[in-house]
Amino acid sequence: MKITFCCTGTKPEPWLAGLRTALPGAEVTVWESGAPAADHAVVWAPPQQFFDEQAGIRGVFNIGAGVDALLKLQMPANATVVRLDDAGMSAQMAEYVCHAVIRHFREFDGYDADIKAGKWSYRKPRERAEFPVGVMGLGVLGARVAQSLTQFDFPVVGWSRSPKELPGVRCFAGATQFNDFLSATRILVNLLPLTPETRDIMRLETLSRLQSGGYVINVARGAHLVDDDLLALLASDHLAGAMLDVFRTEPLPAEHPFWQEPKISITPHTSARTLRDESIAQIAGKIRALDAGQTIVGIVDPVRGY
């Protein structure tokens, strides 16, 4: 079995060592132009040339949950594209989102500003029932986030393309229930995959349907959000703020107005990072299963985009 590694911006040596340990007998190498044909590939942001040269590749294993950039490339027709299901990312994502929700609900930003100004102040406690959290996208990460939020007694609603059932979460599905989901939401968490249908899904029309004083948490992709529409709704006070981890251009350009907007908190695309050891174990298991003719989870449907 031959496995090639083509991950832009990733130090290859630890991955090669881990894959060789997990798959004894496999030939694991870093891809270079002109390299021999491989059976499987472990990739992140590969160039088109990679697929042009590896036309016989059978399994393409993406070392992240998002595959939108990968699906823009022309891949061999017989290649099976597989994404990570979790690999340690769901716990990180739940930590990030719960922190963001609680920080907003408890007004810790306001306390920080007061302390920096030398003020010792209190704010009236708020009612959780008045801050329903809506999670868009109920896949592996979204489901973990939604159920984690229920542990803090927030009302939690969820929306997905197809019907889902989650304990403690009121679930909406499909286009016909999308507006009802938005109207039931005050704090909106985006965990959708980026597809042609979900691009710009957080725009003036949709964000205006959130309850007054809404808050936006985007941990999926920057292209889900129309930046100017968010700024306009913050200026009108329909939205109280936002916490953003992803952006249309990364790193976020120095001249972007998000930097200067006090109602927006920014983190550098760090809500859930790929954990190498967990990812290697998952990829190795799926390679063994594929080679044995077994069914695996995480296969990407190019038509749906996830």
Residue type, 113: A
Residue 7 backbone phi and psi in degrees, to 5? -125, 105
In the block, tokens 């007998």 appear at 25
Catalytic residue chosen out of the listed positions 221, 248, 256, 288:
221
Cβ contacts of 26 within 8 Å, gap of 6 or more: 1, 2, 3, 19, 20
Bridge-partner residues for 133, per DSSP? 156, 187
**Could you confirm whether 209 is annotated as catalytic?**
no
Peptide bond into 251 cis (omega under 30): yes
Eight-class DSSP state of 186? S
**Could you confirm whether 103 is annotated as catalytic?**
no
Catalytic residue chosen out of the listed positions 209, 269, 276, 288:
269
For the chain, the helix, strand and coil percentages under 3-state DSSP, each to the nearest 5:
35, 20, 45
Distance, C-alpha 211 to centroid of its chain: 24
Specify the length of the chain in residues. Answer: 306
C-alpha span between 61 and 44 (Å, rounded)? 9
H/E segment holding residue 241: strand 239-244
Do residues 218 and 245 lie in contact, with contact meaning Cβ atoms separated by under 8 Å? Answer: yes
Residues classed as catalytic: 221, 269
